[in-house]
Chains A and B, each alone.
Chain A
Amino acid sequence: MKGLQVYFLGFAIGVNMLMAGHLSAQHTELVPSDSASMPEENFTHELRFAQYLTDKDAFEEAIFVLSNLNSLTLTVPQRDSLRYSLGWNAYSAKQLGLASRSLLTVSSQSPYYLKSQFFGNYSRAFQGQTDSAYAALNQLTVPDATLNELKAVELAGISLLKRDYDAFNQHRQGFTYASYALSTEEKRMDDYAHKLQSFKRKSPVLAGLYSAVVPGLGKIYAGKKRQGIASLLPILSMGLLTYEGLRKDGVKSARFISFGTLFTVFYVGNIWGSVLSVKIKRNEFNREYDNKILFDMHIPMRNLFQ
């Protein structure tokens, strides 16, 4: 917690320095120069302008202003401020590719370093780059217990996204369930791990066989009850019509052949649909839990860094 206070203090000092820079800036030429040189007061002014746009939720406009700044002539702290600001605006505008690229290039000397690393790697994980996000966060050194616990939550979350339960169990050792900013999400992560591990992987072949015996039963087995019941009715009707054609007009009748063909198409189609429904249901389940995990990885970061 002490480290977090130091971090916020650093952040406040950074902002104050920017403010001081702006106040000392001379009101000379405020039109940005296209040349390679970027006077310090002009850079500070542009950064404050971008912050003004960010405060108005005009993230796209802020990105435009920041992207037009020439970073080659900037000092390291200025470049860090630029990358952090650009990354944060991109993150707010849901441009996660740009967000992770910018945030993860903020240097370790910057007061925004830890926040940038957490949000940058979260953006990576959100885009499905779980391996690189995991590796980067795992190597991150954090200064205090609270941020260390946050790191454990993020790593546990990424482990769950990768469905690596050994890694999850290793990182959940860092959960204390005592921090106001983390305890709810820690409990939820445990719950997600339990639900994911107890999810029974159903067999597509078995679903197909069930539907071959009783049309629709395979879909009910896969977890799609309504679809199962709904598919039973047309197949049953076709079967009865085929039976009626056979009983009244014989096996060579047009009525029997027409309804028999339709019945066969519906019957085979339903078996194939039942096989696919297992995969669809599994994907839906995975997507639902991925969204929940990402949501619960995000909340503690927002709580601790803002």
Chain B
Amino acid sequence: MICIFLCVTCFSKAQTRWLARADSLLAQKAYFEASVAYERVLFNNASPQINFQAALGKTQCLKQQSLFANAVTFLSGQLAAAYPDSLSYRLRYEQILCAYLAGQFENTLSTIQQLTYLYPDQSAPPLVSVIQILSLNELQRWPEASAAYQQLLTWQGIDTTQHQPYQQLPKLKSQKKAQWLSTFLPGGGQFYAGKPGEALLSIAVQGAGLYFGITSFLQGYYISAWGIGAGLFGSFHMGGVRRAEVLVQQHNQKKIKSFNEQVKAQLLETVHP
């Protein structure tokens, strides 16, 4: 019994020392080395509390190296281990953060659902709701995002009538409309996409091709009219149609990003005033 007691004591001391060493490497910003040191603690399979500290440390190392997807995978492996509920709850919370930072928005929402299903009695921290709303925004699931936003404000005891960002959703433009406009009206798609400079340039180039083609034809330069005039007009016309589509895509992405940033700023101000 004495031997077992001494062994356990020595072992725990060694693990604590390893953990301290890993923490020290993390503090020195030696993230890769710290990551190996935290894994060593996990490999030696110490108490759940020490393992939990190591798992959090390793997650921190991966986050510092911007390896968010790796952190999600690592935490999934950790969640398969036997942790008390209070600790595994914290690990799931970290997993949600990492999944969002990795741009895995569907996975983020699914992990949040798991959290609420597995721990129905625990109220999730407000940041989880924020991440849920931001992920829904990224996926352009605005009705759901709006409902979650209103719910968060209600929980926080904030007047919901004062904060209504979802009443002014970004107005997105149609790629198809831009394509049709540019097909029948040179530069029309670019105007529609909000790029008048590019529209004028497109009109000028297509117009020059057309003018050259017509004058060459009238002067009897039929090959030049066809080869250069029609060629220039046709090429720039086709290019203009494709460019209009790209411009609308960029316009929409910019609008969505701007809206999401605005909501993000409002949310963070609400949660952490």
Contacts and interface: CB of A to CB of B under 8 A. Distances in A.
A13 to B, nearest CB: 24
Contacts of A243: 223
Interface in A209-256: 237, 240-241, 243-244, 248
Contact of B224 (A48, A49, A241): A241
Given A29-B14, A31-B18, A58 B39 contact: yes
B10 A27 contact: yes
The 10 closest A-B CB pairs, nearest first, are A244-B223, A27-B11, A237-B227, A240-B223, A52-B43, A30-B14, A61-B36, A49-B43, A241-B227, A27-B7
Interface string B89-124: 000000000000000000000000000000000000
A202 B227 CA distance: 35
A31 B32 contact: no
Contacts, number: 51
B264 interface: no
Interface in A143-157: none
A64 interface: yes
Given A30-B18, A31-B21, A52-B43, A65 B36 contact: yes
Given A53-B43, A241-B228, 4 more contacts: A30-B14, A49-B39, A49-B40, A244-B222
B194 interface: no
A28 interface: yes
Contact of B10 (A28, A241, A244): A28
Given A53-B39, A56-B77, A27 B14 contact: yes
B125 interface: no
Contacts of A30: 14, 18, 40, 44
Interface residues of B, number: 24
B60 interface: no
Interface in B65-84: 77
B18 A61 contact: no
Interface of B: 7, 10-11, 14, 17-18, 21, 32-33, 35-36, 39-40, 43-44, 77, 220-224, 227-228, 231
A158 B227 CA distance: 53
B232 to A, nearest CB: 12
Interface string A97-126: 000000000000000000000000000000
A56 B36 CA distance: 12
A237 B228 CA distance: 9
B259 to A, nearest CB: 39
Contacts of B7: 27
Contacts of A52: 39, 43
Contacts of A61: 32, 35-36, 39
A61 B32 CA distance: 8
